Amino acid sequence: MGGGEEPTAEALDQGPRGRISGIDICRSVAILFAMVNHTFAEFGVVWDHESFLWLKFAFAAATPIFVSLFGAMLELVYVPRFRGGQAEKATGRLLNRAAQCYVLYVITVVALVAVGKYSLGFATRTVLLAGMTPYTDILKFYAVVLLLAPLLIRLRIRFSLMALLAFSVFVQLAYPIFKSLPQPELILGRDYLGPIAGFLYGGGHSGVGAPSLLHGLTFVIGGMLI
């Protein structure tokens, strides 16, 4: 979330210009962890020894922290705006952010084509959210979640945060069900549907570089609760 959107409630511990310093610190730590994690993955650094498991866990927590912070900012910034009669303006801002994330995602795909990593066919599927990118797939996740954010906020206001929390608990408890779903069949020997299933609920043949949409939403809701 960009600067200047944080709430100005005096009860919160804030820094200069109305920013919440704790959120900024948490975001900075998550950025550091993500960069270290990506660098080690790119250069093949492994964490097999048991003494490094805690460090591996800490670095892997970067994405959940980012997604939870996104949920926190929805609750702190946008829910009050929706309740205060500024729903249309707030929706426009969220959709603008969604478009920005999608454009950046497309740019990364174009760059992968330019350096010969992706074919035009796979790049086209990736742009249509039926593929994946290394390290930048989170942009696809944010683009879709920002697009769904106005609906999520309206559901939160209408049915309460506890109802969304109940949904999150159900998604986590339903893991065995999602795990048992059959993998999409190959089409002409190619895995066209696997990346889609992976992005939607974590299924399919292919891995994805970001949380599944369904499970990622549970972290967004968790951030709203926090």
Closest by Cα among 44, 79, 64, 223 to 152: 79
pLDDT of residue 23: 82
* Mean pLDDT, residues 29-46: 83
pLDDT of residue 206: 60
Report pLDDT digits (tens) over 104-134.
Answer: 999 999 999 999 999 999 999 999 999 889 8
Mean pLDDT of the chain: 86
Per-residue confidence band for 8, with pLDDT thresholds at 50, 70 and 90:
very low
Per-residue confidence band for 2, with pLDDT thresholds at 50, 70 and 90:
very low
Closest by Cα among 46, 208, 82 to 157: 82
Token couple for 173: 């408890």
What dihedral angle (degrees, nearest 10) is formed by the CA atoms of 172, 173, 176, 181? -60
pLDDT of residue 1: 41
**Angle at which helices 213-225 and 161-173 pack, to 10 degrees?**
140
pTM: predicted TM-score of the whole model, two decimal places: 0.84
**Cα-based distances in Å from 103 to 36, 100, 141, 143:** 25, 5, 13, 9
Rg of the chain over all Cα atoms, to the nearest angstrom: 19
24: part of which helix (H) or strand (E)? helix 21-42
Tell me the β-bridge partners of 14: 20
Local structure of 11: helix, strand or coil: coil
pLDDT of residue 207: 65
Report pLDDT digits (tens) over 46-88.
Answer: 777 676 778 778 888 888 999 999 999 999 999 999 999 999 9
Res 41 pLDDT > 60: yes
Res 6 pLDDT > 70: no
Token couple for 77: 């910034």
Report pLDDT digits (tens) over 159-199.
Answer: 999 999 999 999 999 999 988 898 888 888 888 888 899 99
Res 12 pLDDT > 60: no
Instruction: Give the separation between CA 98 and CA 79, rounded to whole angstroms.
Output: 17
Instruction: Give the separation between CA 123 and CA 141, rounded to whole angstroms.
Output: 17
Residue 126 near residue 171 (C-beta atoms within 8 A): no
Report pLDDT digits (tens) over 136-161.
Answer: 899 999 999 999 999 999 999 999 99
Closest by Cα among 163, 9, 145, 14 to 71: 145
Instruction: Give the separation between CA 225 and CA 165, rounded to whole angstroms.
Output: 8
